[in-house]
């Protein structure tokens, strides 16, 4: 289980998160929903160990994440797909997939990656700079599954994707859930969020203002859209 307790974070003197607490269990997909600037990306970066001006408790099972840097958190089983995808333009698709160290037991094989993402198989020898935005997103997700991450942190994975690719991302996340992986998902697309996630944390100005199931989110859609600024 990924546990966040009393997480507060700052950029200089500006506070981005205020006492955020949430849980995400194995085999559970949880979303952070909120408008731009609400603190969603900051929360993911804190979990990954990329934002240090923070206070609060972060745990993965019995492991206290606080003393671990980002590399050791990755080795503990946390995989991060940032909103800019973190793709290296000069590396080929295949090189991206063999680059990360693999965690025993839960890492996808290359054969499975290429079976789940046939477009990556077709382009495996091409540099990532030649991929479309959707293909780069697929590559970024495939890379953390290839690594064997038990916890996936995904920042706006459907942004700018064609509907068919959104469906493919949804299928991959459902597969990760079925394998017992934990997914913490930042998402603005409410239809996508309710289609894949179990629970939703509504974040406003750095504070969680509601915890909603899918039925609750649908019933309060107009309120949530106001929080999203839509």
Which CATH code fits 27-38+77-228? 3.40.50.300
Summarised one tens digit per residue, pLDDT across range 109-161 is 999 999 989 999 999 999 999 998 888 999 999 999 999 999 999 999 988 88
89-103, 112-126, 212-226: range with lowest mean pLDDT: 212-226
Summarised one tens digit per residue, pLDDT across range 40-55 is 999 999 999 999 999 9
Share of the chain above pLDDT 90, in %: 67
Summarised one tens digit per residue, pLDDT across range 52-81 is 999 999 999 999 999 999 999 999 999 999
**Residue-by-residue DSSP string for 51-83:** --SEEEEEEETTEE-TT--HHHHHHHTEEEE-T
| Residue pair 106/179 in contact by the 8 Å Cβ criterion | yes
Q: What local confidence, expressed as pLDDT, does residue 125 receive? A: 95
Nearest-CA neighbor of 10 among 56, 58, 66, 48? Answer: 56
Q: What local confidence, expressed as pLDDT, does residue 7 receive? A: 97
Whole-number average pLDDT of the chain: 91
* Rounded distance between C-alpha atoms, residue 112 and residue 229, angstroms: 39
What's this model's pTM, rounded to 2 decimal places?
A: 0.92
* Rounded distance between C-alpha atoms, residue 31 and residue 34, angstroms: 10
Give the domain ranges of the chain: 27-38+77-228
């Amino acid at each position: 289980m990924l546990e966040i307790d009393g997480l507060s974070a700052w950029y200089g003197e500006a506070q981005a998160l205020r006492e955020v607490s949430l849980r995400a269990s194995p085999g559970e997909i949880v979303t952070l929903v909120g408008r731009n600037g609400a603190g969603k990306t900051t929360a993911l970066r804190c979990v990954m160990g990329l934002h240090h001006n923070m206070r609060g408790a972060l745990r993965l099972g019995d492991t206290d994440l606080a003393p671990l840097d980002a590399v050791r958190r990755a080795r503990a089983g946390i995989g991060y797909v940032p909103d800019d995808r973190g793709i290296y333009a000069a590396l080929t698709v295949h090189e991206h997939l063999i680059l990360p160290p693999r965690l025993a037991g839960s890492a996808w094989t290359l054969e499975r990656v290429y079976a789940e993402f046939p477009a990556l198989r077709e382009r495996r020898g091409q540099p990532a700079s030649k991929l479309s935005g959707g293909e780069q997103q697929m590559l970024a997700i495939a890379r953390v599954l290839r690594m064997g991450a038990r916890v996936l942190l995904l920042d706006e994975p459907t942004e700018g994707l064609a509907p068919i690719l959104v469906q493919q991302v949804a299928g991959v996340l459902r597969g990760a859930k079925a394998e017992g992986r934990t997914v913490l998902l930042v998402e603005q697309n409410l239809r996508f969020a309710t289609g894949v996630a179990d629970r939703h944390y509504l974040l406003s100005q750095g504070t969680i203002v509601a915890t909603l199931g899918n039925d609750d989110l649908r019933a309060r859609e107009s309120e949530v859209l106001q929080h999203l600024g839509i």
